Amino acid sequence: MKDVRTAGQRKRVFIRTYGCQMNVYDSDRMADVLRPLGYALSDSPEQADLIVLNTCHIRERASEKVYSELGRLRDLKDERRRDGADLTIAVAGCVAQAEGEEIVRRQPAVDIVVGPQAYHRLPELLARAARKSAERHAGGRQPGAGVLDTEFPAESKFDHLPAPSEVRAGSAFLSIQEGCDKFCTFCVVPYTRGAEYSRPAESILREARTLVAAGAIELTLLGQNVNAYHGEAPDSSNVGPGAGSTWSLVGLISALAGIDGLVRIRYTTSHPRDMDDDLIAAHGEVPLLMPYLHLPVQSGSDRILEAMNRGHDRDHYRRLVDRLRGIQPDLALSSDFIVGFPGESDADFDDTMKLVGEIGFASAYTFKYSRRPGTPGAALGDQLAENIKTARLAALQSLLGKQQRDFNASKVGAIVPVLFAEAGRKPGQVLGKSPWLQSVYVEGGAEMVGNLVNVRLLAAYALSLAGEIVTNEPPFEVAA
Ligand code: SAH
Ligand code: SF4
Ligand code: F3S
């Protein structure tokens, strides 16, 4: 194929994203920041001039993966240099924030370390890294003097990042809240992402309109504590009754629901402490709000919930679920669980199994507790042996797996709108998401990607459902 890039666009960036959806969103924003500098996206490190690893620090294995990847990139960089070319390596995300200079010490091939709040300063960091590299070539410097920016600036990065420029497959993430003040004793997020911050509603609405105009029919609102959202209200800069007021997540969702062309709204991740009456009610009142809620409980033991500093007990969670289901009986509930938190006894773990049995989840993410340096949990005595964690994880996964299969099976026969996202694993298949965020595949072509189509669900499996397109039963919605 002929290379049609212009002279100013000859650079390529490869971005590898680890961790949560916040990082997926940020990676896209980094691509937007780099585009005006002439960087086009590359899908392989081998063809890139700049490689960004957008990292995750949440569990030990996630961070260690970064260093092994960096080892491979150093070899790639050495190869380039032997050929008289260069490669810039940047580490972004939560490992960058948590470990800072330590990254450059462990891997001197790294040129840039940039924390999650500083992505709008990437152009300046690249320029500084280029200067350092030139000095190094001139023999004036020792290798490994990377450029670092892990400040939490007074101004939010959202005020400086460019508007998103493209939407893939009809669905987009929209970051509305970042950081966390809850300090669960196992978790690094308050340290890597900083204090809780809610983006002003006006800037979110503007971005939402841009995304819908670019083809988004589904928006997923993101935040580490998304339901704690309390952003500045749009009219609060005016003198008047609204001055200085804030919007809750419900206020924001209601305003977003008025955007022409938007069909689905989701939000993640919620904390049980911030699930207020209005938000529960919204699940019965806002048709655009999908009947799916990711509401992590972590443990079913009151003793462990307390030790985790979650700020609620098992009954609080049960009551929330009862109320949510009272309002929206069709709700698919999902959660995160940690097994093997320090001091977790057999009885504590049984309480988790019991809670899962009582509630019934449509899907879940399960983790073995991972000791994270600097968190209060890491300093606790009674850290559990790996084999105990492994056995508990297996038991929990088996119960949750059965619940997921049962939930999927309960939908067989239903006709539901599916938003198609990508080609399926087998040729001639296309894969999408049901309202309950289940993966659904049908026979169909790539032209369906980005469209919302009514599908009859035919068969349920552990992690997906098979369906067929309904052609003769209205409403049959296909985006233009
Ligand atoms: N803000 C979200 C979760 C963010 S991290 C919330 O409050 O629920 C995503 C999940 O990773 C957590 O819900 C938790 O289950 C898991 N996790 C976080 N720290 C962990 C650790 N140290 N070990 C194991 N799992 C962890
Ligand atoms: Fe981590 Fe807890 Fe904050 Fe969630 S609420 S990000 S688990 S500290
Ligand atoms: Fe990981 Fe940071 Fe997200 S630690 S889970 S990438 S907030």
Residue 478 lies in a domain: no
Residue 474 lies in a domain: no
3-state SS, residue 278: helix
Pocket test for ligand 2, best of 57, 58, 183, 312 (most atoms within 8 A of CB): 183
Residues 357 and 434 in one domain: no
CATH code, domain carrying 43: 3.40.50.12160
Residues 172 and 286 in one domain: yes
Return the structure tokens found at 15: 């971005």
Q: Which atom of ligand 3 is closest in space to residue 23's alpha carbon?
A: 6
Q: List, for residues 192-217, the tens digit of each pLDDT value.
A: 999 999 999 999 999 999 999 999 99
Residue with tokens 């960004």: 52
Residues 286 and 302 in one domain: no
**254: CA distance to ligand 1 center in Å?**
29
Residues 326 and 273 in one domain: no
Please list every protein residue whose CB sits less than 6 Å from any atom of ligand 3: 19-20, 22-23, 56-58, 93-94, 188-189, 192-193
Pocket test for ligand 2, best of 21, 23, 184, 229 (most atoms within 8 A of CB): 184
Q: What is the pTM of this model?
A: 0.94
Which-ligand-closest: CA of 310? Answer: 2
pLDDT at 473: 53
Q: How far is it, in rounded angstroms, from Cα 364 to Cα 401?
A: 8
Strand order in the sheet with 147-149: 39-41, 11-17, 50-55, 88-92, 112-114, 147-149
Mean per-residue pLDDT, 273-280: 97
Residues 284 and 296 in one domain: no
Residues 128 and 100 in one domain: yes
Residue 295 lies in a domain: yes
Residues 208 and 224 in one domain: yes
pLDDT at 300: 98
The residue from 382, 410, 438 where one domain ends is: 410
Which-ligand-closest: CA of 195? Answer: 2
Mean per-residue pLDDT, 150-175: 88
Q: List, for residues 327-381, the tens digit of each pLDDT value.
A: 999 999 999 999 999 999 999 999 999 999 999 999 999 999 999 999 999 999 9
Residue 141 has pLDDT above 80, yes or no: no
Mean per-residue pLDDT, 143-171: 84
CATH code, domain carrying 245: 3.30.750.210
Which-ligand-closest: CA of 193? Answer: 3
Where in the sequence is the domain holding 349, given as residue range(s)? 291-410
Q: Which atom of ligand 3 is closest in space to residue 55's alpha carbon?
A: 6
Residues 284 and 361 in one domain: no
**Is residue 149 a contact partner of residue 113, using CB atoms and an 8 Å limit?**
yes
CATH code, domain carrying 392: 3.30.750.200
Residues 172 and 237 in one domain: yes
Residue 261 lies in a domain: yes
Pocket test for ligand 1, best of 181, 183, 184, 186 (most atoms within 8 A of CB): 186
CATH code, domain carrying 459: 2.40.50.140
Q: List, for residues 70-86, the tens digit of each pLDDT value.
A: 999 999 999 999 998 99
**Is residue 444 a contact partner of residue 421, using CB atoms and an 8 Å limit?**
no
Q: Whose CA is nearest to atom 3 of ligand 3?
A: 20
Residue 3 lies in a domain: no
**Torsion sign over Cα 196, 201, 207, 208:** positive
Residue 246 lies in a domain: yes
Q: What domain count does the chain have?
A: 4
The residue from 390, 410, 430 where one domain ends is: 410
Q: Which residues have a Cβ under 8 Å from the Cβ of 162 and sit 6 or more positions away?
A: 29, 32, 33, 35, 36
Q: How far is it, in rounded angstroms, from Cα 454 to Cα 448?
A: 12
**336: CA distance to ligand 1 center in Å?**
7
Q: How far is it, in rounded angstroms, from Cα 458 to Cα 14?
A: 39
Residue with tokens 């190869």: 79
Q: How many angstroms separate the Cα of 210 from the Cα of each of 22, 91, 172, 202, 214?
A: 19, 29, 11, 12, 6
**Is residue 357 a contact partner of residue 399, using CB atoms and an 8 Å limit?**
yes
**187: CA distance to ligand 1 center in Å?**
6
Residues 301 and 387 in one domain: yes
224 Cβ closer than 6 Å to some ligand 1 atom: yes
Pocket test for ligand 3, best of 20, 63, 338, 375 (most atoms within 8 A of CB): 20
Whole-number average pLDDT of the chain:
92
Residue 342 lies in a domain: yes
34-43, 90-99, 228-237, 263-272: range with lowest mean pLDDT: 228-237
Residue 297 lies in a domain: yes
Residues 46 and 119 in one domain: yes
Q: List, for residues 292-301, the tens digit of each pLDDT value.
A: 999 999 999 9
Residue 143 has pLDDT above 60, yes or no: no
The residue from 149, 175, 195 where one domain ends is: 149
**Is residue 287 a contact partner of residue 241, using CB atoms and an 8 Å limit?**
no
Residues 425 and 356 in one domain: no
